[in-house]
Structure 1
Amino acid sequence: MNIKLRLTLMNFLQFFVWGAWLITIANYWFGTKQWDGTQFGLVFGTMGIASLFMPTLTGIIADRWVNAERLYGILHVLYGCVLFYLPQVTTPTDFIYIMLLAMCFYMPTIALSNSISYTSLKNDSEADVVKDFPPIRVWGTVGFIVAMWVTNLSGNKASEYQFYIAGIAAILLGIYSFTLPKCKPQHLKSEKASFMESIGLEAFKLFGSYKMALFFIFSMFLGGALQLTNAYGDVFLDEFKRVPEYADSFVVKYSTIIMSISQISETLFILAIPFFLKKFGIKKVMLISMFAWVFRFGLFAFGNPTDGLWMIILSCIVYGMAFDFFNISGSLFVETSTNSKIRSSAQGLFMMMTNGFGAVLGSFTSGWAIDKYFTHDGQRDWHNIWISFAVYAFIVAIAFAVLFKHEHNPKDVENIAH
């Protein structure tokens, strides 16, 4: 099978196994289990905690000792097994601990999938990473969308079967990954290796560069914004059912379908990344992403299922730009700024800042703020919640524009392919 098709299938399943439950888990928590909302932020916090160390650790292992595709497969099989156990949990505290274990296996696979894709494409003489990776990665978004639709249309957006759907797909992906091209460790032992090199932590030297350190810090802040929309987007739409005039609306019945517009939008913006990166450079692309987050949250603040439906839909469309121009472009930027010896661990470091520290920042802080300031008599004040998130994104954008210094050179992007 053509390498591009093989990587396409890998990316499809990579995000299918996440999308089957990520957007709908709030309905399972609040609806089916009726657990306390104060602990719900911890569910998304598990992704952050796992990402603080697992992507970097597995990246080091893949750079030094184990083929990336083999490590990737093992992690997905273990992730699938934990998902099968998750519905058996009966208390919110135990649920959080088991979810943390699942995330320790899943979160590093995102960085590993990027590393496998980049390595495989670079080893293919006919491939161009900048041109070929976005169309491959877009199928990851398609997989996420398909999983959301399967969960919603099968009537499982509040049931435990969402975890079974994801678990089956994860185990299949784990088995399939052993058939992928070999991605052998690139770091060879040297007699003159420094202590940092000998223990596999040389990727952390990237923090010694002002530009890279600042990039990683702002990646953390944007990672926080991503967790805000993942954690609360679907439950926000679902809670319109408490308003009589909106109770029977399409938005309430098929909230996950509406949210999937965000992922459909991703498929379009991913394909635009090569043009925007070459034309404008990483700083302007990241700025576009940050202001897109402002509009994402602001439109949610004023939208509703009837005369404000267009704002909800536009917010979902803007999400594609907000997510892709940060996440995918950021991954490509890291690729241009590192050498092959630390490629996997550098991608893991990027994951650590976005889905690690960023997720912890977004999940814990938002959960605390919403319960303390925006929840009254059990009702969440969604208008002011989304306004506060929009203000947060705006402050981050202005700070990035002032502090991050980067001169765009189109050749830097072209060099990824070589």
Structure 2
Amino acid sequence: MGIKNRLVGMSFLQFFVWGAWLITIANYWFGTRQWDGTQFGLVFATMGFASIFMPTLTGIIADRWINAEKLYGIMHILYAAVLFYLPQVGDPATFIYVMFAAMCFYMPTISLSNSVSYAALKSNGYDVIKDFPPIRVWGTIGFIAAMWITNLTGSKASEYQFYIAGIAAVLLGLYAFTLPKCPPQNLTKENSSLSETLGLGAFKLFANYKMALFFVFSMFLGGALQLTNAYGDVFLDEFKHFPKYENSFVVEYSTIIMSISQISETLFILAIPFFLRRFGIKQVMLISMFAWVLRFGLFAYGDPTTGLWMIILSCIVYGMAFDFFNISGSLFVETNTSNKIRSSAQGLFMMMTNGFGAVFGSVVSGWMIEKYFTRSFNNSGELATFLETEPANQSMESFVTGQGVQVAADGSFNNAIMLRDWPSIWLAFAAYALVIAIAFAVMFKHKHDPKEVANIAH
């Protein structure tokens, strides 16, 4: 099997083991477990906290002491072990701690997989700009395959989503030991400083204004990514509360609808080489930021019937929003760092996007949604008006009783019913992305140089 085909297999499984539960875990949390929504943001924050230190730490280890592909395999096997245990957890607080352990093992494998791919391609004389995107696209296909399997097997609200991911993670962990060798490059020399000995050279990148600014904006864009991962599927699923939408295809197959986002990724990943050579790295990343504005804005006005085209278009736009920053950003780091700190620099990029960015996005959005965008209904009249139906409508009454709420003769509820105001939520997210895009356009000074793109390839 050729080098590129072997990397394709790694990329496919790398994101399969994440996609099996990432988009559907909200249904497990809110539906099956019926846990408090205020704590749900912490589930996605665990990815952020783990990404603050684990990718950088494993990157340093891979740069100095252990082959990257071996460390990669070990991390996936440990990740699988935690996933198998996760469904046994019976309370939300413990669930969050166990999820944090899983993320400590998984999140660094994303940057490690980039390092292994870049090293293998370069050592075999391939053009990274041309040959990496078609390999990386198989990761998105793996993510889509996992989402479809989870949805079509009826597992999107059950513990089986974690078992699906765990089995695949074991296979990937074992497969990793057969990958091309990626030995440490940054070996310790005599009279080395403490910083060099510990492999902290990548942090010197913050001394460069342009690199520091790039990492700051990476953090803010990382926050936007977590918003759509955390709430996209549950947003579509909650249309079931509206009688006119409750039997729609969107509600029943919300995860498959969301997978259009990943299908779109496959197309835009393949377009990255053209856009990078034509427009340059800054313009490509700026296009990504405005795509996030469209992603959230279209969700705000979409619905499962007359507004279905907006939901679908939002999912298509997601491919550009995600790929154009994350993939081009990874390549930007590659061309602005030396081979000696390759893995730790990629880990640093991961720390800012899926680390600080994810924590910021998850915690702030969770608090904001609960405080400002969750509506309370105290009687059937208020709820009926919101759901656009009559108080006596059987669908609404079924919804009320399904929530465990008793209805008095005057139509009042013994406990308030809480529903999220999704249009306002998505508009707030769109405004956030717009501010980031404008600030990036003004502050990040970087002229397009075709030679820079050529340097990435070699």
Interval containing the TM-score (normalised by the shorter chain): over 0.9
Match status 1:101 vs 2:105: no
Structure 2 equivalent of residue 385 of structure 1: 425
Structure 1 equivalent of residue 157 of structure 2: 158
Q: Distance in 2 between matches of 1:329 and 1:254?
A: 32
The residue identity in structure 2 corresponding to 1:147 is A
Structure 1 equivalent of residue 3 of structure 2: 3
Give, in angstroms, the shift of residue 279 of structure 1: 1.1
RMSD after superposition: 0.5
Structure 1 equivalent of residue 137 of structure 2: 138
Structure 1 equivalent of residue 42 of structure 2: 42
Give, in angstroms, the shift of residue 153 of structure 1: 0.3
The residue identity in structure 1 corresponding to 2:445 is K
Q: Distance in 1 between matches of 2:324 and 2:106?
A: 23
The residue identity in structure 2 corresponding to 1:408 is H
Largest Rg, 1 or 2:
2
Once the two structures are superposed, residues 155-182 of structure 1 have per-residue CA deviations (whole angstroms, 9 ceiling, x without a partner) of: 0000000000000000100000000011
Q: Distance in 1 between matches of 2:195 and 2:282?
A: 30
Partner SS state of residue 264, structure 2: helix
Structure 1 equivalent of residue 446 of structure 2: 406
Once the two structures are superposed, residues 276-325 of structure 1 have per-residue CA deviations (whole angstroms, 9 ceiling, x without a partner) of: 11111111111100000000000000000000000000000000000000
Structure 2 equivalent of residue 31 of structure 1: 31
Partner SS state of residue 303, structure 2: coil
The residue identity in structure 2 corresponding to 1:342 is I
Once the two structures are superposed, residues 73-116 of structure 1 have per-residue CA deviations (whole angstroms, 9 ceiling, x without a partner) of: 00000000100000000000000000000000000000000000
Q: Distance in 2 between matches of 1:170 and 1:210?
A: 39
Structure 1 equivalent of residue 399 of structure 2: none
The residue identity in structure 1 corresponding to 2:362 is S
Q: Distance in 2 between matches of 1:220 and 1:133?
A: 24
Match status 1:255 vs 2:254: yes
Structure 1 equivalent of residue 240 of structure 2: 241
Q: Distance in 1 between matches of 2:251 and 2:308?
A: 12
Q: Distance in 2 between matches of 1:198 and 1:158?
A: 47
Partner SS state of residue 390, structure 1: helix
The residue identity in structure 1 corresponding to 2:88 is Q
Partner SS state of residue 184, structure 2: coil
Higher deviation after alignment, 182-191 or 18-27:
182-191
Gaps of 5+ in 2: 377-417
Structure 2 equivalent of residue 52 of structure 1: 52
Structure 2 equivalent of residue 183 of structure 1: 182
Matches within 5 A, 1:231-310: 231-310=230-309
Q: Distance in 2 between matches of 1:345 and 1:256?
A: 34
The residue identity in structure 1 corresponding to 2:214 is F
Once the two structures are superposed, residues 19-40 of structure 1 have per-residue CA deviations (whole angstroms, 9 ceiling, x without a partner) of: 0000000000000000000000
Q: Distance in 1 between matches of 2:285 and 2:196?
A: 31
Give, in angstroms, the shift of residue 392 of structure 1: 0.1
Q: Distance in 2 between matches of 1:334 and 1:249?
A: 44
Once the two structures are superposed, residues 190-231 of structure 1 have per-residue CA deviations (whole angstroms, 9 ceiling, x without a partner) of: 224233111110000000000000000000000000000000
Structure 1 equivalent of residue 224 of structure 2: 225
Partner SS state of residue 280, structure 2: helix
The residue identity in structure 2 corresponding to 1:96 is I
Once the two structures are superposed, residues 374-401 of structure 1 have per-residue CA deviations (whole angstroms, 9 ceiling, x without a partner) of: 0012100000000000000000000000
Between structures 1 and 2, the one with greater helix share: 1
Structure 1 equivalent of residue 358 of structure 2: 359
Structure 2 equivalent of residue 316 of structure 1: 315
Once the two structures are superposed, residues 232-262 of structure 1 have per-residue CA deviations (whole angstroms, 9 ceiling, x without a partner) of: 0000000000000000000000000000000
Structure 1 equivalent of residue 200 of structure 2: 201
The residue identity in structure 2 corresponding to 1:230 is N
The residue identity in structure 2 corresponding to 1:210 is Y
Q: Distance in 1 between matches of 2:201 and 2:303?
A: 49
Gaps of 5+ in 1: none
Partner SS state of residue 246, structure 1: coil
Structure 2 equivalent of residue 348 of structure 1: 347
Partner SS state of residue 379, structure 1: strand
The residue identity in structure 2 corresponding to 1:174 is G
Q: Distance in 2 between matches of 1:294 and 1:407?
A: 24
The residue identity in structure 2 corresponding to 1:165 is I
Q: Distance in 1 between matches of 2:220 and 2:327?
A: 16
Q: Distance in 2 between matches of 1:194 and 1:337?
A: 23
Structure 1 ranges of 4+ moved more than 3 A:
none
The residue identity in structure 1 corresponding to 2:261 is S
Structure 1 equivalent of residue 124 of structure 2: 124
Structure 1 equivalent of residue 85 of structure 2: 85
The residue identity in structure 2 corresponding to 1:311 is M
Q: Distance in 2 between matches of 1:110 and 1:97?
A: 21
TM-score normalised by structure 2 residue count = 0.91
Partner SS state of residue 304, structure 2: coil
Once the two structures are superposed, residues 313-349 of structure 1 have per-residue CA deviations (whole angstroms, 9 ceiling, x without a partner) of: 0000000000000101100000000010000000000
The residue identity in structure 2 corresponding to 1:95 is F
Partner SS state of residue 244, structure 1: coil
The residue identity in structure 1 corresponding to 2:258 is M
Partner SS state of residue 179, structure 1: coil
Q: Distance in 1 between matches of 2:128 and 2:285?
A: 20
Partner SS state of residue 200, structure 1: coil
Between the aligned residues of both structures, percent identity stands at: 78
Higher deviation after alignment, 402-411 or 348-357:
402-411
